Every structure is written in structure tokens, then in C-alpha cells.
Amino acid sequence: MQPALVIAALALATITMSSHMDLGSAGRERARSLGEYANGLFQAALNDGSTDPALAQAFLVSILSGRLIGLC
């Protein structure tokens, strides 16, 4: 499994649990860190010439979680 996809999914899950009632600002910061890490993994895979289809999924999940993080 593509590591960027796993980390991006964790970022998405964390941001969805980061309302004021759940994880709050600490959760949003954790989601931001996970999103940056996923982006780094994604970029590294692209630089290595990877053609793994899961990279497209990782990209989409990263974009979605990044948009949600930006709304917080």
C-alpha cells in the first residue's frame, strides 16, 4: 500500500474528529502535520518515478484533507 495514501487518510480522519467537542485545536494541528508528511511522501514517490495508482488516491485524499484543514 502506498504510504502517502495511508498518511493522507489519517490526516483526513484526524481533521474530521477535530471539532471543538472532540480533538479541538490539537487535533487540527496534528492533522496539518500529517498532511504535510503525506505531501512529502507523495512528492518523494513522484520524484522516484513511481507509477503506483494509489498515488492518485493519495493526491485526492490529500487535497480533500488540506481543504478541510484550511476551513478550520
* Residues spanned by the domain of 59: 3-71
Judge whether residue 19 has pLDDT over 80: no
**Whole-number Å distance between alpha carbons of 22 and 56:** 30
Domains contained in the chain, number: 1
Mean pLDDT of 10-31: 82
Judge whether residue 20 has pLDDT over 70: no
Q: What's residue 1's pLDDT?
A: 75
Global pTM value: 0.78
Which residues are CB-contacts of 21 (< 8 A; sequence separation ≥ 6)?
none
Mean pLDDT of the chain: 83
